[in-house]
Amino acid sequence: MAVEDTRLTATRRTEARWIERIPLAYWVLGLALLMMPAFANDFVLYQIFGWTFILGMIALSLMFLAGYGGMVSLLQMSLAALAGYMVAIFGTSAIETISMGWPWYVSIPLALLVTVLFATICGWLAVRTEGIYTIMITLAIASAFFYFTRQNYVVFNGFSGFNGVLPPDLFGVDWRGPKAFYYLTLFWATVSYLAVRYVSKAPFGLALQGVRDNPRRMAALGYNVTAHRVAAYAFAALIAGVAGILLTWQSAQVSPGTAGIGPVVDILVIAVIGGLRRPIGPFIGALIYVLLKTFAVDVLISLGLAGERFQLLIGIGFLVIVFWSPDGILGLWDRWKENRGRDPLTGERRER
């Protein structure tokens, strides 16, 4: 009886409730993010953090494909822009001749559906070849999307795109208000982060990582390699699509420039700077990128350089990261932790 009792408590202690298993760092970060509106001003909330979460989500979709699927796709920004375009076309915008003006509960799911369908087709094309070809094919598709939206006036309204694309007036909240938009983007960023974490540990995600490491062996085990890769594209497109709709609402407009070659490559830069190994990396990269983009001009001018040299700064920073730490900032962090855990004399791991 007594033995039984201790065994029960023992199992209960190892199987702590899920809420107790969340590490302390998550609580701190979560609380800090939730409390942010109390001490940050509107500009920081709307421009810095809103934009960080959105770019982070798009880069997260790239991280999912590249980190777990081994497919570096440059298509994610175009998918985001496509979702934005679809919301503008199916929903309401200032271009009344093209916009259909359907309610949000029709236009948003439809926009996401179109985005996922397009990504599935592109993914199916891209996975027909392997490895390094993926970058080329997705870059070609992304630039074709850019040139097409710029040329086409019937559906995509050409060079100027759509403006006046506003979020629906749900629950009587103005979702473009700084605080509301902050929480909206925070919510979706958290959802996509958790979704990617969950999927990466679910059977599908594990099989995808197996496909990344050894496609032939996975095929021999009976997994459909192509289907897993295409499904990864579809899942990533969903995240990119949600982010694209948020991005369109943030600036209230979407135009070919949204998915120009510059932004398309920027997403890759963000994901690589942050680190392609773990889903938190893209958000770190996005924060660095947004901070640089917002404040680099002032810093450059104060150093006596022209403010337009921002791209140069980004490019050199990217080169430095790729050269010395291919896993991005997270890789640097890991290496630092690894080194700290070792004894400086013997090089062996210290007991903790």
What does the binding site for other proteins look like in residue numbers (CB under 8 A)? 72, 125, 128-129, 131-133, 135-137, 139-141, 143-144, 147-148, 151-154, 261, 265, 268-269, 272, 306, 308-309, 311-312, 314-316, 318-319, 322-323, 326
| Shortest distance (Å) from residue 290 CB to other proteins | 17
| Shortest distance (Å) from residue 309 CB to other proteins | 7
| Shortest distance (Å) from residue 301 CB to other proteins | 15
Closer residue to other proteins in complex, CB, 2/154: 154
| HEC sequence for the chain | CHHHHHHHHHHHHHCCCHHHHCCHHHHHHHHHHHHHHHHCCHHHHHHHHHHHHHHHHHHHHHHHHHHHHCCCCCCHHHHHHHHHHHHHHHCCCCCCCCCCCCCHHHHHHHHHHHHHHHHHHHHHHHCCCCCCHHHHHHHHHHHHHHHHHHHCCCCCCHHHCEECCCCCCHHHCCCCCHHHHHHHHHHHHHHHHHHHHHHHHCHHHHHHHHHHHCHHHHHHCCCCHHHHHHHHHHHHHHHHHHHHHHHHHHHCEECHHHHCHHHHHHHHHHHHHHCCCCCCHHHHHHHHHHHHHHHHHHHHHHCCCCHHHHHHHHHHHHHHHHHHCCCHHHHHHHHHHHHHCECCCCCCECCC
Closer residue to other proteins in complex, CB, 191/306: 306
| Shortest distance (Å) from residue 289 CB to other proteins | 13
Closer residue to other proteins in complex, CB, 129/160: 129
| Shortest distance (Å) from residue 150 CB to other proteins | 9
Closer residue to other proteins in complex, CB, 45/141: 141
Closer residue to other proteins in complex, CB, 10/319: 319
| Shortest distance (Å) from residue 152 CB to other proteins | 5
Closer residue to other proteins in complex, CB, 128/217: 128
